[in-house]
Amino acid sequence: MISTIFKRLGVALATVFGASIFAFILLRKIPGDPARAIAGDAATDDAIAALRKSMGLDDNLFVQYGNYMGSLLRGDFGFSYSTGNSVGSLLAQRLPATIELGLLSVIIAIVAAVLAASIAVYSRRRWPDRLLRIASSLAMGSPPFWIALLALLVLSIQLGIFPGPEGRLSPGTLRPPNVTGMFTVDALLAGQWGTFANAGWHLILPATIIALGPFAFLSRLYRNQLRGTLRETFVTVAQSHGLRRFPVYSRHVAPHGLLALLPAASLLFADLLAGSLLVEKVFGWPGIGSMTADAIIQKDFAVVQAVLLLAAILYVVVSLVADLIMTAADPRTRVGAR
Amino acid sequence: MSNVATAPLLRVANLNKSYGTGLGSRNRTQILRDVSFELRRGQTLGLVGESGSGKSTTAACVMGLTAVDSGLIEFDGVDLTSLSKPEMRRMRKRIQMVFQDPNGSLDPRFTVADLVEEPLIIHGVSGTAERSRRVEEVLDRVGITLKQAQRYPFAFSGGQRQRIAIARALVLNPDLVVLDEPVSALDVSIQAQVLNLLSDLQDELGLTYLFIVHDLAVARLMSHHIAVMNSGQIVEAGTSADVFDNTTHPYTRALLDAVPGARRRAKALAAAGTAVAMEGK
Amino acid sequence: MSHTNALPFPSRSMARDGIPDQAPVLSVNGLTTSFYTASGTVHAVRDVSFDLYKRQRLAIVGESGSGKSALAMSLVGLVPPPGRIVGGSVKLGGTELVGLDDAGISKIRGRDIGLVFQDPMAALDPLKTIGTQFVETIRVHQDVSAKVARRMACELLAEVGVNDPGRRIADYPHQYSGGMRQRVLIAMAIANDPAVVIADEPTTALDVTTQAQVLDLLAKICDERGNALVMITHNLGIVEELCDSVNVMYAGRFVESSSTRSLFGAPAHPYSKALLDCVIDPATAKRGALPAIPGSPPDLSVDEPGCPFVSRCPIGRDELRCATERPEARTLAGGAVVRCHFASDTPGDAA
């Protein structure tokens, strides 16, 4: 068990290191000159050359990477040319908004997927299963930013059920005192019910849209796992002992389904990240996603690099934790044979 | 090929094998302990034992599917453990295997004719005409028509699939066939068909069988010699009649006594003498 | 055909020596189960009838695809989809089981009818301890505290030969060997003292010495507790050793029902005879040709008009009657009930 943990940790570190190199090289090899982007179209070639020099872009890649890693280890993520801030402060400022949105998305995706798949499998009728299949196909097949635009147009602008793309709070709403940076949590802590409701109202639509992809994926996975478990002999045996349908389902079928969701956690995380990128942009959400979308367009590669690295670290941590929970939750791996 | 009729085709001597378990393979589990036996050309050796006795591992060693710790596996005068991989591959042409579960060994995406031809292609038998001649011949031997062979494995019953697996093993004209529980997945009525086929093929083609089997009755029916394995060791060996009628080892005795039906007869015999024995079928 | 006398329990007096006449604990009449698959309807159980009495040990013997497992599952309403009981009745005492809802049949399962399955390695939930599963099994039917149920479970585990049950009850299934798991499952099946135990190939997945121990255990438990046993198996040796009466199943039907003694002494149906001939006796087996049944079992999705065994039968192969007219069940003088136009009582005549 201990050796397994160390092995996983080693793999995790190697993954993060690989991701840092990948992000570094990729951003320097894609077409477009960041110096020209920063200096603007009117700049002279000399001015651009000088800027390139000051940014270290003329050094060879190894030197550049060495410098990059060096400052990274000192906690310096670099400087964002497009916004004029250090990347570190940008991340600190925007991370809570994204975490708040992401957490709600995860909760929506998991709860909806588990509920929908459970009903689809448990029901004696066929239509819930068919409905789930159609719903998950649609959710999986449509690009999130397109859904986001459509939802904004219909639900916010036409029907006015949800707020427009105005960020995390309506203009004029009292901002809660900064504790966690997540407005709903901070508002609750401060007892500001109006702010809490307003923040929640702003969260729901983007969070639901980001959750669509993960929902589709998780509901299918969970459904298939439940179906597979229902065919297991031990389920029939439990029935033969006199357990009724529901106890058999809740005690012997569902736990196996939930266990199977754990390995999907890292995939879910990747899905979420990709989803939030453009959805945040569409909703004017001041988080990491919209910041990254802007930075990509501006060729502000210090920002993109930092986000890629952060994503890689989070991804690795999520899969590692999921793996460890999985090992601990399954007696077959936790307890040795006698 | 050896022309000395008395020399064994397969000679296994002091075969040892262990697996490492735990961290850094500190604990080693001995799977085979000094396993030795000889198998003469045209004969059948029944390797009998329960699960975990080491009989399947022995077969895997003979097939070169797993490395051995020490010992000798001499096939037709050549020590298989000393062969390089390409040499072993060439030798494998002469040693074929039939598995317990015919479904697992037959790829469902190929027709039966293709499946039987495949070993010929792998072992570089050139000439489409030559290959189809040999496929046709071997299919005929196991009782599958060419027309049937154009179908896919799922269209066949368990017994027929095992016939196909046997055809696949025989198409290369092997000297030695390792039969790993070839009938234990089959129904009683089908089992007899396949066992009869295996006996006939041995008589016609002079095949040598290493027969891995847990069913003592089948072992006795098919084998000239029997080796009983328990915990990685051969505990009793000899001719079929010796092992079954003059059992010396308590484990063999226990195995024989455990066969349902036989037990009842034995108990009845002991209880009531000969009167009840007459009543048996 | 009439229900009550369709297949009367054969040779009552012969098979159940010394047991006074009594009402059957389980009475099955005209039971029919089909599987509705995309490629057609598989008629797995066709018009099966039998009575089971207290202390009786009844074998249902057949090869794979004979419908014997579908029959076992039909008795307790556990036929997996797309299978369904389409007709007939299963009566336990006075209660009709066919058509009961989930709540109704769940009360019967485990309390009145216990089941033991083929594959002990897959029959326990790998995520829960033996104790958790055992306590659950007891408390479904008995109103006792978890603590009391656990003590009962330990006693039962000791009864089936689990050493140190107080400690082993906290173990997970993967910490038990196959033979031990089957003992645990037998203990669970009898935990609520059912009148009927159905064992579906309980030893097929086990080694021969373990098989012998498990069979001894089943016999001992049935003797001590006096419940009736339905043994579903393909192994005629087990039938001979353990059971007093036997139904031979072929293509979804009972083709011969008789006492074990009469079946092994003088099989009436050609299929029974052929099956017995295929059994190799380790005490006398010699190298050489084995009598085999030619061909393979019939496709259960086709309901042919004649006898299902006709193409493999040494007698019926050339008989027009066997190919066109389905043999009805008839009782021979010796008491055996046979579905064959040509079966007769005299041994040897049938083949």
Which residue, among A234, A250, A338, would best test binding to C if mutated, counting the most C CBs under 10 Å from its CB? A234
More confident residue, B260 or B253: B253
Q: What pLDDT does A82 receive? A: 77
Residue B136 has pLDDT above 90, yes or no: yes
Query: Would you say residue B227 lies in a domain?
Result: yes
Average pLDDT taken over every residue of chain A: 85
Query: Would you say residue B119 lies in a domain?
Result: no
C179 contacts in chain A (CB < 8 Å): none
- Residue B169, C-beta contacts closer than 8 angstroms, at least 6 positions apart: B96, B97, B98, B177
Nearest-by-CA chain C residue for A256: C127
- A73 CB near a chain C CB, below 8 Å? no
List the structure tokens of A78: 């670099």
Note whether B216 contacts C64, CB cutoff 8 Å: no
- C157 CB near a chain B CB, below 8 Å? no
B195 contacts in chain C (CB < 8 Å): 290
Q: Which residue has the tokens 């009845």?
A: B268
- C211 CB near a chain B CB, below 8 Å? yes
Long-range Cβ contacts of C315-323 (<8 Å, 24+ apart) = C315/C270, C315/C342, C315/C350, C315/C351, C316/C270, C316/C340, C316/C341, C316/C342
Distance from CA of B196 to the nearest CA of C (A): 6
B95, containing H or E segment: strand B95-98
Contact B96, B172 (CB under 8 A): yes
Q: Look up the ipTM and state it.
A: 0.86
Contact C271, C99 (CB under 8 A): no
- C351 CB near a chain B CB, below 8 Å? no
Nearest-by-CA chain C residue for A337: C175
Which of C235, C283, C288 has the CB atom closest to B260's CB atom? C235
Note whether A251 contacts C136, CB cutoff 8 Å: yes
Q: What pLDDT does B92 receive? A: 87
* CA–CA dist C306, C327 (Å, integer): 7
- How is chain B split among helix, strand and coil, in percent rounded to 5? 45, 25, 30
Note whether C174 contacts A331, CB cutoff 8 Å: yes
Q: Could you tell me how far CA A244 lies from the centroid of its own chain?
A: 39
pLDDT tens digits, one per residue of B89-102: 888 889 999 988 77
Nearest-by-CA chain B residue for C209: B258
Nearest by Cα to C281 from B261, B199, B196: B261
* CA–CA dist C121, C117 (Å, integer): 10
Nearest by Cα to A11 from A316, A308, A263, A333: A316
- A40 CB near a chain C CB, below 8 Å? no
List the structure tokens of C158: 């000791």
Residues of B with CB under 8 A from a CB of C: 50-51, 157-160, 187-193, 195-196, 199, 214-224, 240, 244, 254-265, 279-281
Nearest-by-CA chain C residue for B244: C283
Nearest-by-CA chain C residue for B278: C265
Contact A261, A221 (CB under 8 A): yes
Q: What is the largest CA-CA distance in chain B?
A: 68
With bands split at pLDDT 50, 70 and 90, how would you rate the model's confidence at B267?
Answer: low
Q: What is the largest CA-CA distance in chain A?
A: 85
pLDDT tens digits, one per residue of C290-316: 788 888 788 888 877 889 998 888 888
CA pseudo-torsion sign C317, C319, C325, C326: negative
CA pseudo-torsion sign C237, C240, C242, C245: positive
State the count of interchain CB pairs (< 8 A) between A and C: 89
* CA–CA dist A245, A230 (Å, integer): 11
Query: Would you say residue B253 lies in a domain?
Result: yes
Residue B55 has pLDDT above 60, yes or no: yes
- A320 CB near a chain C CB, below 8 Å? no
List residues bridging with C41 in a β-sheet.
C36
* CA–CA dist C73, C230 (Å, integer): 12
Residues of C with CB under 8 A from a CB of A: 76, 78, 80, 102-103, 106-111, 114-115, 117, 119, 122-129, 133, 136-137, 140-141, 171-172, 174-176, 185, 188-189, 191-192
State the count of interchain CB pairs (< 8 A) between B and C: 117
For chain B, the C-alpha Rg in angstroms (whole number) is: 20
Question: Looking at the 3D structure of chain B, how many domains does it have?
Answer: 1
Which residue, among C57, C61, C278, would best test binding to B if mutated, counting the most B CBs under 10 Å from its CB? C278
List residues bridging with A79 in a β-sheet.
A86
Residue B178 has pLDDT above 90, yes or no: yes
Contact C194, C140 (CB under 8 A): no
C241 contacts in chain B (CB < 8 Å): 260-261, 263-264
* CA–CA dist B58, B35 (Å, integer): 8
Q: What pLDDT does C86 receive? A: 95
B28, containing H or E segment: strand B27-39
* CA–CA dist A120, A223 (Å, integer): 8
Query: Would you say residue B156 lies in a domain?
Result: no
Nearest-by-CA chain C residue for B51: C207
Q: How far is CA A107 from CA A75, A110, A229, C132, in A?
A: 32, 5, 24, 31
Q: What pLDDT does A337 receive? A: 57
Q: How far is CA A89 from CA A74, A151, A182, A288, in A?
A: 14, 32, 17, 12
Q: What pLDDT does C8 receive? A: 37
B157 contacts in chain C (CB < 8 Å): 296-297
C265 contacts in chain B (CB < 8 Å): 279, 281
For residue B25, give the DSSP letter: G
Q: Label residue A191 exposed, middle or buried (CB < 10 Å: 0-12, 13-18, 19+).
A: exposed
Distance from CA of C82 to the nearest CA of A (A): 12
* CA–CA dist A227, C262 (Å, integer): 46
> In this structure, how many other beta carbons lie within 10 angstroms of the beta carbon of residue A273?
20
> In this structure, what CATH number is given to the domain that contains residue B90?
3.40.50.300
Contact C93, C196 (CB under 8 A): no
* CA–CA dist A102, A99 (Å, integer): 5
Query: Would you say residue B132 lies in a domain?
Result: no
Contact A172, A157 (CB under 8 A): no
Average pLDDT across each block of 10 residues of chain C; the chain has 351 residues. List them in order: 37 43 89 91 92 94 89 94 93 92 94 93 94 96 95 94 93 92 94 95 88 91 93 92 94 93 91 88 73 82 85 86 89 89 63 39
Distance from CA of C199 to the nearest CA of A (A): 12
Beta strands C228-233 and C245-250 are unpaired
What would the mean pLDDT of B130-153 be, rounded to a whole number? 91
Note whether C290 contacts B263, CB cutoff 8 Å: no
C143 contacts in chain A (CB < 8 Å): none
Which of A244, A252, A338 has the CB atom closest to C103's CB atom? A244
Which of A237, A245, A329 has the CB atom closest to C102's CB atom? A245
Q: Which residue has the tokens 């656990």?
A: C150
What is the DSSP annotation of A278-333? HHHHHHT--SHHHHHHHHHHHT-HHHHHHHHHHHHHHHHHHHHHHHHHHHHH-HHH
A245 contacts in chain C (CB < 8 Å): 102
- Written as one letter, the residue type at C24 is P
Which of B196, B256, B261 has the CB atom closest to C241's CB atom? B261
* CA–CA dist B94, B166 (Å, integer): 14
Q: What pLDDT does A243 receive? A: 95
Residue B269 has pLDDT above 60, yes or no: no
Query: Would you say residue B137 lies in a domain?
Result: no
List the structure tokens of B258: 């455990």
List the structure tokens of A70: 């060096």
Nearest by Cα to A25 from A68, A55, A54: A68
Q: Which residues in chain C (39-78) have CB-CB distances under 8 A to chain B? A: 63-64
C117 contacts in chain A (CB < 8 Å): 233, 236-237, 240
C122 contacts in chain A (CB < 8 Å): 232-234
* CA–CA dist B216, C288 (Å, integer): 16
List residues bridging with C340 in a β-sheet.
none
Q: Could you tell me how far CA C49 lies from the centroid of its own chain?
A: 13
Average pLDDT across each block of 10 residues of chain A; the chain has 338 residues. List them in order: 76 86 76 70 78 75 82 80 83 90 92 94 90 89 85 88 86 84 88 89 92 91 93 94 94 92 80 83 89 85 84 86 85 74
Average pLDDT taken over every residue of chain B: 85
Domain that holds residue B190: 8-94+174-279
- A314 CB near a chain C CB, below 8 Å? no
Q: What pLDDT does B22 receive? A: 53
Helix (H/G/I), strand (E/B), else coil: A122 = helix
Note whether B263 contacts C278, CB cutoff 8 Å: no
Output the 3-class SS for chain C. CCCCCCCCCCCHHHHCCCCCCCCCCEEEEEEEEEEEECCEEEEEEEEEEEEECCCCEEEEECCCCCCHHHHHHHHCCCCCCCEEEEEEEEEECCEECCCCCHHHHHHHECCCEEEECCCCCCCCCCCCCHHHHHHHHHHHHCCCCHHHHHHHHHHHHHHCCCCCHHHHCCCCHHHCCHHHHHHHHHHHHCCCCCCEEEEECCCCCCCHHHHHHHHHHHHHHHHHHCCEEEEEECCHHHHHHHCCEEEEEECCEEEEEEEHHHHHHCCCCHHHHHHHHHCCCCCCCCCCCCCCCCCCCCCCCCCCCCCCCHHHCCCHHHCHHHHHCCCCCEECCCCCEECCCCCCCCCCCCC
* CA–CA dist A308, A292 (Å, integer): 9
Note whether A242 contacts C140, CB cutoff 8 Å: yes
Query: Would you say residue B45 lies in a domain?
Result: yes
More confident residue, A303 or B167: B167
Which of A233, A238, A331 has the CB atom closest to C172's CB atom? A331
Query: Would you say residue B145 lies in a domain?
Result: no
Residue B222 has pLDDT above 60, yes or no: yes
Question: Residue B216 phi/psi, 5° resolution?
Answer: -65, -35
Note whether B189 contacts C289, CB cutoff 8 Å: no
- A126 CB near a chain C CB, below 8 Å? no
Q: How far is CA A286 from CA A162, A228, A294, in A?
A: 18, 43, 11
Which residue, among A237, A327, A334, would best test binding to C if mutated, counting the most C CBs under 10 Å from its CB? A237
> In this structure, how many other beta carbons lie within 10 angstroms of the beta carbon of residue C25?
21
> In this structure, how many other beta carbons lie within 10 angstroms of the beta carbon of residue C134?
26
* CA–CA dist B53, B31 (Å, integer): 8
How many residues are present in chain A?
A: 338
Q: How far is CA B46 from CA A78, B96, B227, B242, in A?
A: 74, 16, 6, 13
Note whether B50 contacts C294, CB cutoff 8 Å: no
